């Protein structure tokens, strides 16, 4: 089939029978739920932009599997140019949604599993790579959204998966059958799972021989029996139930996370990509993490563009745009944001082919990119809040603003420059609140810290890939040291 339109995507999700829970209740119609719909709209944007000729080069690519044009979120990277276009696409979507558009995890899982299965097959003669190629072609031909599930709850971090008091704290195989496997466990922080057609499951860390049952990777439809999702709370989420478009800040778009439980889920053999080959768990994790840390050099930058623009508008509306310290703060925000983009582009441009033929980023630079993402967005948010002023967290509600008695009072006392309406001033302040503190914080500030691994995870990889011994040899050569 050709590329789906955004509306076709919405209707395809509506047909799924996913088990979604929120606030202690089963959500029978997640597609039209007012809290969940903005996140679905963000994914829709990945389909809508792919339909526009001006964005075709960024949003689509020609598949090496089918020879047809596919959405780039389902593409297997064929060059450093593909890697660069991925980052540029993510920045564009961040600019268009100011939220998490949720398909990056699946795209990054696609490419990590593609290359890892090839190398597993080379060693063991398994058929995992062919399994994945068929799955990937199916996803591309049907233009599906795929979630990537890596993060296990982990329980006691001092213990290996097999040593946990509760064996389900890492997802595992509980039964091996002639036609497939049965798995139990859960995956936490699942971005966009309720808006996905399929889910790729991967191990969450390096594993030893005793963790064989936990070294499993596979793909299943998101509405497979035994899978259910518990939606995570977000700050200010219930504002979406109040009917106030103004108070939400970003009423059209958003992100969503969920704890996803696998309760005796059957996986057929043709959908298995790793099944007990524990020594390859670390490779899969490292490659996925690298791709996903590259992603943050695009998506967070695009959302940062919106936040910088909102801060500049707030300065205009406050009558402070000409103040030198305001100009300097906007320059600093721009400098930090573009530095993140530089990192995303650099690790892409320095990419190289894997044994399977698809391209992977420079892992050291990808980890440097994400390490900066754990810091710079916090400073960008701090500066935005500084520029916006205290009204960003003390403004009255839209109900008060629309009230016949209170509205004129609010309009009188909360107006900034005379040429700008009080409503427009409140709108930009609510947008800043949303990006800094509200539901979009999941897709920007806090998620910048823990998404794609904690800061320490990147530092471990930087230490591993920094090649200090080579640097020592460089210093010895310059200093004419002979040992």
Active site residues: 100, 104, 191, 257, 292, 296, 299, 447
Q: Taking the CA atoms of the chain, what radius of gyration do you get in angstroms?
A: 23
**Phi, psi (degrees; rounded to nearest 5) at 453:** 105, 150
Cβ neighbours for 269, distance < 8 A, ≥ 6 positions apart: 131, 179, 180
Tell which residue, 69, 199, 89, has the closest CA to residue 144: 199
Task: Name which of 371, 365, 206 is nearest 284 in CA terms.
Answer: 206
Bridging pattern class, strands 216-221 and 272-275: antiparallel
Q: How many residues would you count in the chain?
A: 483
Dist CA 42 CA 195 (whole Å)? 10
Listed residue (204, 203, 196) closest to 220, CA to CA: 196
Q: What is the C-alpha separation between 190 and 20, in angstroms, rounded?
A: 13
Tokens of 155: 């329980």
């Amino acid at each position: 089939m050709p590329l789906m339109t955004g509306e076709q995507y919405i209707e395809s999700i509506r047909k799924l029978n996913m088990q979604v829970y929120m606030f202690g209740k089963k959500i029978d119609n997640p597609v039209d739920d007012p809290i969940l719909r903005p996140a679905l709209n963000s994914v829709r944007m990945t389909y809508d932009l792919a339909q526009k000729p001006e964005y075709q080069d960024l949003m689509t690519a020609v598949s090496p599997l089918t020879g047809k044009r596919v959405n780039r979120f389902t593409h297997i990277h064929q060059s450093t140019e593909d890697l660069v276009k991925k980052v540029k696409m993510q920045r564009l979507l961040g600019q268009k949604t100011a939220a998490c558009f949720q398909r990056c995890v699946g795209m990054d899982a696609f490419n990590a599993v593609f290359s890892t299965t090839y190398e597993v097959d080379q060693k063991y003669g398994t058929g995992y790579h062919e399994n994945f190629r068929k799955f990937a072609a199916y996803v591309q031909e049907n233009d599906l959204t795929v979630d990537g599930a890596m993060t296990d709850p982990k329980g006691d971090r001092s213990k290996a998966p097999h040593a946990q008091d509760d064996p389900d704290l890492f997802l595992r195989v509980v039964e091996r059958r002639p036609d497939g496997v049965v798995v139990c466990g859960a995956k936490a922080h699942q971005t966009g799972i309720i808006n996905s057609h399929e889910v790729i499951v991967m191990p969450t860390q390096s594993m030893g021989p005793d963790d064989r049952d936990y070294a499993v990777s596979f793909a299943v439809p998101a509405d497979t029996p035994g899978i259910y999702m518990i939606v995570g709370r977000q700050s200010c989420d219930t504002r979406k139930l109040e009917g106030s478009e103004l108070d939400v800040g970003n009423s059209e778009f958003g992100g969503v996370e969920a704890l996803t439980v696998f309760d005796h889920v059957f996986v057929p053999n043709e959908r298995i990509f790793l099944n007990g080959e524990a020594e390859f768990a670390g490779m899969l994790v490292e490659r996925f993490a690298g791709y996903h840390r590259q992603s943050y050099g695009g998506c967070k930058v695009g959302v940062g563009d919106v936040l910088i623009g909102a801060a500049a508008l707030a300065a205009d509306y406050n009558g402070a745009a000409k103040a030198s310290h305001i100009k300097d703060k906007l320059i600093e925000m721009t400098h930090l944001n573009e530095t993140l983009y530089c990192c995303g582009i650099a690790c892409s441009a320095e990419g190289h082919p894997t044994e399977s033929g698809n391209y992977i980023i420079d892992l050291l630079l990808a980890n440097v990119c994400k390490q900066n993402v754990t810091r710079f967005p916090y400073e960008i948010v701090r500066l935005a809040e500084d520029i916006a002023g205290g009204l960003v967290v003390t403004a009255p509600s839209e109900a008060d603003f629309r009230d016949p008695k209170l509205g004129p009072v609010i309009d009188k006392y909360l107006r900034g420059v005379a040429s700008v309406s009080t409503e427009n001033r409140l709108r930009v302040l609510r947008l800043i609140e949303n990006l800094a503190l509200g539901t979009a914080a999941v897709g920007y500030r806090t998620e910048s810290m823990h998404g794609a691994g904690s800061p320490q995870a990147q530092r471990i990889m930087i230490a591993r890939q920094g090649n200090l011994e080579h640097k020592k040899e460089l210093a010895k050569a310059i200093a004419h040291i002979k040992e």
